[in-house]
Amino acid sequence: MSQNLPNMLENTIAKIREMVDVNSVVGTPITTPDGVTIIPVSKVSVGFGGGGSDFANKNPNSELPFGGGVGGGVKVTPIAFLVIRGESVRMMPVASAPSTTADRVVEMIPDALDRIVSVIDRKVPDSQAVSE
């Protein structure tokens, strides 16, 4: 077996380590002129994979030719901000976009209920609403 694939994987992992460090998860604090400190917090997803093979060679005395590849990716998603003001610390989540149809439907329910209530309120006279 060729040593190329382990070397390729090691190089890919080293490059990912260069790209992702602790500052990718908990960002550099930002201090405003009025003394509020804001610290970004993110979620980091990392994935990589590779594969390869030694191929047959017509010359039995030479090393087998190798073919392979490695790939990787990093995704950094902001999830919240820590807001520090004096002795008070608050976590403010970042709203994420709905990713599935069910998420979209759940997100639409409050607006739909508000609309239904406003339609009912317009149809029911005030005198009937108070007596019930």
For residues 48 and 9, state if they share a domain: yes
For residues 68 and 12, state if they share a domain: yes
For residues 59 and 75, state if they share a domain: yes
Place of tokens 């090393």: 63
For residues 67 and 90, state if they share a domain: yes
What is the number of structural domains in the chain? 2
For residues 113 and 89, state if they share a domain: no
Q: What's the whole-number mean pLDDT along residues 53-70? A: 76
For residues 66 and 106, state if they share a domain: no
For residues 83 and 106, state if they share a domain: no
Range of the structural domain that residue 8 is part of:
4-95
Q: How far apart are CA 37 and CA 88, in angstroms?
A: 11
Phi and psi dihedrals of 55, rounded to 5?
-105, 155
pLDDT of residue 125: 63
Condensed to tens digits (0 to 9), the pLDDT of residues 76-132 reads: 888 899 999 988 999 988 876 667 777 777 777 878 888 888 888 777 665 555 554
**H-state helical runs in 20-93:** 22-25
For residues 14 and 37, state if they share a domain: yes
Condensed to tens digits (0 to 9), the pLDDT of residues 23-40 reads: 777 888 999 999 999 999
For residues 75 and 90, state if they share a domain: yes
Phi and psi dihedrals of 126, rounded to 5?
-60, -35
Phi and psi dihedrals of 106, rounded to 5?
-60, -40
